[in-house]
Amino acid sequence: MTVMPKGLEYQGQKLWKAIVSDYDLEEEPHKRRILFDACKVADLVDKLEKAMTGQPMTVKGSQLQPVIHPLISEVRYQRGLLAQLLARLNFAPAEED
């Protein structure tokens, strides 16, 4: 089993365990690195979502107009990055004979 690297928090550890329980990454260091990065992003998304708790959906912009809260945009960006990283792992479903 692939050893979990240090520095992951709850969501990152959860993602790491879920992936390595189904896939053997021992011989694929590049995939371990991509997975590690995805786990770090999962932790960041969790932190950003927690930081958003109790915050308004909009804030005042430079012209005092309402604009979307910057954390919302950042969470959306990080979720997209997480999806890209997971897609780069390229785990194809097992083919049936």
Would you kindly state where each structural domain of the chain is located, as residue ranges? Answer: 10-88
**pLDDT by 10s per residue, the chain, length 97:** 678 999 999 999 999 999 999 998 888 999 999 999 999 999 999 999 999 999 999 999 999 999 999 999 999 999 999 999 999 998 776 566 5
As a whole number of angstroms, the distance between CA 50 and CA 32 comes to 27
Is the pTM for the entire model greater than 0.85? yes
Phi, psi angles (nearest 5°) of residue 17: -60, -40
